[in-house]
Each structure stands twice: as C-alpha cells, then as structure tokens.
Structure 1
Amino acid sequence: MQLRALTTTVAVFAAATLATAAGTSPAARPAPAPVTQTVQSRTAPPVVVDCLWHPHVRPTNFMLACGDGNSRLASLHWTRWDAASARAEGVNWVNDCKPYCAAGHFHAYRVAVRLDRARPWKKHPQVSHYSRITLTYPAARPEQFGPTVSYPLWD
C-alpha cells in the first residue's frame, strides 16, 4: 500500500513539475479539444448512406444494387447539395444480365441524379439523410427502365 501511495505522489509531483516548467499549473490548463465527431447535426446538409452504412456528401461513385452490384453510379459531378435536394450528372453502369447476370455485360448510360426527401437517419437520428433517389436518362437507357425512375434509399 505504501508503494502505491509513493508511486502516486511521484506521478503527481512529476506532472506538477512539468506543468510548472511549461508555464501553467494543471488546474489552469484548458481542457483538451473535443474529438471531432464524424456524425453531423441536422443543421448540416443531409448525407447519402452507402451499402456499408457509411454517410457521404457528394460522393463520386455510389452503388445502387448493393446485393449484386449490377447497377452503380460513377463519375458523379454535383451541382447542388442542400437540405432540400441534391443534383448531379454522371454515368449509370448497368448489367444487362443476358443470358444471366453473372454472364452479362455492363453498359454505361448518361444520367441525371436527384436526391431528396431528407429524413432523420435511423442509425444516427441527429443526422439527416436523403431517402429517395431519382434517375433521369436524357438519351439511351436500360431497356427495362423508363426515362425516369425513382427508388427509396436505405435507412
């Protein structure tokens, strides 16, 4: 027990000596800066949540088909990202799944992307996330798609 008290006394003395040498007492030192949080508040712009449940703002690429990877967005260039919506242009790479998905081929389609319907994210309720994505194909599009398609985004 005496050894523990002696060790504690030496440690406190050493800390006080170092603090005095630095010009401040331990009590006068400011508290350490808080760790920067990766979660943002609702006043910050919404995020889009990826397949691995990570939040992103203005991602360059985004997987639409998390289960099989047969549709993804690439080369996204964002022109808007705020509380109301986000807009980008890019390329939608879609597998034609012919004769079946594993043997299919990917085709690139120019696409306009809109994210909207910001809601609190279930995983982090203090973070707002876009809950719907709308894709608009200005020219060619996958044969099973209409000129505009909307999907709910995962929460």
Structure 2
Amino acid sequence: MRDKLLKRKLNPFLLVTTVMVLAILAGLSVMYQQELGELVGTKDNLSTQLKDTEAELEQAQQNITRLRDTRDRLNSEISNLSTTLENVRESKNSEISGLEDDLQQARNERDSWRERFEETNSSLEQVKTERDELLFSLELVCSDLNESASSFEECEARGFS
C-alpha cells in the first residue's frame, strides 16, 4: 500500500513536473521556431545577396577581361602609332636635312651670281668710264680737227697751201 500511496503522491508531482517540462519545451519550441524562421529568412536573404554578389563578381570579372583586352589592343595601337610616328619623324628629318642642303646650295649659287653681277656691274662702270673718256677724247680730237680744218681752209683761202 505504501507503494500505491507513493505512486499516487508521486503521480501528481510527476504530472506537474511533466506538464511544466512540456510547457517549457513548448515555449522553447516556439522561441526556437521563431529564431529558426528568422535564421531561415536571414539565410535566404544571405543566399540571395550571395547570388547577387556572385553575379556582380562574374560581371566585374567579365568587365576586367574586356578592359584588359581593350587595354592590350590600345597598347598595341599606341605602339604601332609610335613606330609610325618615329618613321615619319625620321623621314621628315631626312627631308628637312635635304631641303637645308638644297637651301645652302641655292644660297651659295645666289652669292656666286651676286658676285658675278657685282663684277659685271663693276666692269660695266669701268667700260662706261672708258667710253666717256674716249668720247671726251674723240670730242677733243674732233674739235682739234675742226680747228685744224678751219685753219687749213683759211690757209687755202689765203693762198697758203
């Protein structure tokens, strides 16, 4: 009987304890379900953000690849243009050098022609001076001849021959 009594006395205690434990478990279950729901929501948000970030990363990697290709192409074009520019510069420098040589040659010819012109002018002036002297001498001779002719005619007219 004692056992029955003990069972009856323990049963309500056991029942209350069991109910309390079940209540606590139910409360914890509700709390954990809410936290689990929040964690699942957070996980879903983080998964979505991760997918978005991965998509952005993939896009960024594609942009980087495209930009590298563009950079390489532009560097190649710059190199080609630099080579072309250097070739043009060398060609133009060669042309300039040739033109400077031609200019110097033309100046030398001009100076030579100028000297010949000055020599010719000097000779011309000398010839003019000589001509003027000859004309003056000729006038004197003619004048002397005219005087002589007139004297000769006077002599003939006077009978002196």
TM-score normalised by L of structure 2: 0.18
Query: Quick check: which one's strand share is greater?
Result: 1
TM-score normalised by L of structure 1: 0.18
Greater gyration radius: 2
Query: Quick check: which one's helix share is greater?
Result: 2
